[in-house]
């Protein structure tokens, strides 16, 4: 079967949580690397940690965990795209820190496991009793029976944000349908306002937008195609590709969007230059802080035959979540394991404190959510299905080729029919 060839355990997951924290280095410390090279106290063990999540919550939790475990911490934040390259090199050379964070998805998780550089955590989870704190199915057990990681983030989904000020200036309302969205794009473009900011350089934003458009055409299209019960040249995939081409031809995105970095595009939205920002739910906190009451949110519009509560696109799946791994070559591997597990639980407490459901039991009290996040939480509770992003379900090589092809669709180098034909060929031949 096609699904078995790709090694896909599940193409869609039940969303168990919503998220406020940053993912992929979207908040603060933009493009920078922070390295706290404090020399360990005499006789005291040290733990080095690499992170790409820029939310200050992560560093604060890590420092608190280090104090609790009794180790000195060497904390290094690395901007997201730089991190992806650095971690790949480190895996190949076995030059990893003691503990490191990794992105969600099979494309990122599989190379870590295949490198044989990470330590199983079963013994420490059992000996400390901390394994019992994690909720069912939140610790990923691999085929060899070992648990190699603990969660570092909760479930995130694609979100349709909009700028309330610009929407009011246009005398418009948020779009409910594809026709509404097209009309809004035309109106904004005519007024010199960027309709939709898109960071095309890193490719994933355009990739996820296409995934979402397909899900709105047919909530089960990807699942059926990945199992071999349908084709990627079927109508939902072609129609969604045509919608992408329409957005591009109508100047829905900023000039030069294919070369725009994610953070640069985000700044356009935050600074009243762009009307719409289609991004992850992880950015509610950062955007609310930057824009205040000017930040708007709606469920992704009904751009196809499916209802707005039929499905959404998730940034991770249950078999390959955002995770913390421990280097099996660490000089202090025992302490590193304890640190990673306790850091995961401390981060969970922070999610719960912010009023969000976590991945483990917690004794902290939750705080209230802001208006936009509360609306999102309500919508998510009504949403029937969360489709994991396609990239995260593919092997690393196939995933990269898939994103390159999608970039060509956005660049106008492939017609919708050519794109879907190549998509069918690529994914059918994937191993």
The residues spanned by each domain of the chain are 21-155+319-368, 158-314+373-429
pLDDT value at residue 33: 42
Give the pLDDT of residue 43. Answer: 63
pLDDT of the residue at 390: 93
User: CB burial class (10 A; 0-12, 13-18, 19+) of residue 387?
Assistant: buried
Long-range contacts formed by 398-404: CB under 8 A, 24+ apart:
398/6, 398/426, 398/427, 398/430, 399/105, 399/106, 399/107, 400/107, 401/426, 402/207, 402/426, 402/427, 403/203, 403/204, 403/207, 404/203
The pair of three-digit structure tokens given for residue 341, joined into one six-digit string:
């597990």
Section 110-119 average pLDDT: 95
Let me know: does 303 contact 178? Beta carbons within 8 Å: yes
Residue closest to 367 by CA, chosen among 9, 20, 4:
20
Quick one: pLDDT at residue 368?
64
User: At residue 149, does pLDDT exceed 80?
Assistant: yes
Domain 21-155+319-368 indexed as CATH 3.40.50.150: no
Residue range 176-201: mean pLDDT, rounded: 97
User: Can you give the pLDDT at residue 42?
Assistant: 53
Looking at per-residue pLDDT, the higher value among 15 and 426 belongs to 426
> Residue 81 pLDDT > 90, yes or no?
no
Q: What is the mean pLDDT of residues 265-288?
A: 93
Q: What is the mean pLDDT of the chain?
A: 88
Which range is least confidently modeled, 116-120, 127-131, 169-173, 371-375? 371-375
pLDDT, mean of residues 212-235? 96
Q: Is the pLDDT of residue 23 over 50?
A: no
User: Is pLDDT at 25 greater than 50 in this prediction?
Assistant: no
Sequence-ordered list of residues with C-beta below 8 angstroms from that of 313, at least 6 positions apart, any chain: 157, 158, 208, 211, 212, 215, 386, 387, 388, 389
- Stretch among 66-80, 154-168, 361-375, 402-416 having the lowest mean pLDDT: 361-375
Same fold, 21-155+319-368 and 158-314+373-429: yes
Helix 396-410 vs helix 204-217: angle between axes, to the nearest 10 degrees?
A: 80
The residue with greater pLDDT, 396 or 278, is 278
Helix (H) or strand (E) holding 194: strand 194-197
Say what percent of the chain tops pLDDT 90: 72
At residue 13, the 3 state secondary structure works out as strand
Question: What's the pLDDT score for residue 396?
Answer: 81
* Mean pLDDT value across residues 117-133: 97
pLDDT of residue 254: 98
CATH number of 158-314+373-429: 3.40.190.10
Contact partners, residue 401, CB within 8 Å, separation at least 6: 426
Given a cut of 90, is residue 192 above it in pLDDT? yes
Q: What pLDDT does residue 318 have?
A: 79
* Mean per-residue pLDDT, 120-134: 97
Has residue 347 got a pLDDT over 80? yes
For the ranges 39-53, 93-107, 167-181, the lowest mean pLDDT is seen at 39-53
pLDDT over threshold 70, residue 399: yes
Q: Mean pLDDT over residues 119-142, rounded? A: 95
Share of the chain above pLDDT 70, in %: 89
**pLDDT for res 104:** 87
Among 116-120, 213-217, 363-367, where is mean pLDDT lowest?
363-367
DSSP category for residue 43:
T
Q: Average of pLDDT values for 263-275?
A: 96
pTM of the full structure: 0.78
- Minimum mean pLDDT range among 52-61, 111-120, 186-195, 232-241: 52-61
């Amino acid at each position: 079967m096609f699904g078995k060839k790709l090694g896909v355990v599940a193409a869609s997951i039940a969303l168990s949580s919503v998220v406020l924290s940053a993912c992929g280095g979207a908040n603060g410390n933009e493009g920078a690397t922070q390295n706290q090279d404090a020399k360990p106290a005499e006789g005291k063990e040290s733990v080095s940690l690499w992170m790409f999540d820029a939310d200050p919550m992560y560093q604060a939790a890590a420092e608190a965990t280090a104090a609790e475990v009794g180790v000195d911490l060497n904390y290094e934040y690395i901007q997201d795209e730089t991190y992806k390259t650095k971690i790949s090199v480190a895996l190949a050379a076995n030059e990893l820190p003691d503990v490191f964070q990794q992105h969600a998805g099979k494309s990122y998780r599989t190379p870590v496991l295949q490198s044989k550089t990470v330590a199983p955590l079963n013994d420490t989870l059992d000996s400390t009793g901390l394994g019992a704190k994690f909720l069912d199915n939140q610790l990923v057990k691999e085929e060899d029976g070992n648990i190699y990681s603990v969660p570092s983030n909760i479930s995130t989904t694609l979100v349709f944000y909009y700028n309330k000020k610009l929407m009011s200036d246009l005398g418009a309302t948020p779009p409910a349908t594809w026709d509404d969205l097209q009309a809004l794009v035309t109106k904004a473009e005519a007024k010199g306002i960027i309709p939709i900011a898109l960071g095309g350089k890193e490719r994933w934003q355009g990739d996820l937008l296409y995934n979402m458009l397909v899900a709105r055409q047919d909530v089960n299209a990807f699942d059926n195609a990945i199992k071999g019960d349908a084709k990627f040249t079927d109508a939902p995939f072609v129609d969604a590709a045509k919608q992408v081409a329409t957005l591009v031809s109508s100047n829905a995105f900023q000039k030069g969007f294919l070369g725009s970095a994610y953070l640069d595009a985000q700044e356009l939205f935050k600074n009243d230059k762009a009307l719409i920002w289609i991004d992850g739910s992880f950015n509610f906190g950062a955007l609310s802080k930057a824009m205040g009451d000017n930040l708007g949110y709606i469920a992704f519009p009904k751009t196809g035959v499916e209802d707005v509560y039929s499905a959404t696109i998730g940034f991770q799946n249950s078999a390959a979540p955002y995770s913390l791994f421990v280097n099996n070559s660490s000089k202090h591997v025992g302490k590193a394991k304890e640190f990673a597990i306790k850091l995961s639980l401390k981060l969970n407490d922070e999610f719960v404190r912010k009023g969000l459901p976590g991945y483990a039991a917690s004794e902290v009290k939750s705080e209230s959510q802001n208006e936009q996040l509360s609306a999102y939480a309500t919508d998510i509770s009504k949403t029937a299905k969360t489709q994991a992003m396609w990239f995260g379900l593919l092997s690393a090589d196939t995933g990269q080729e898939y994103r390159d092809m999608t970039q060509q669709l956005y660049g106008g180098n492939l017609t919708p029919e050519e794109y879907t034909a190549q998509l069918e060929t690529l994914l059918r031949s994937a191993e």
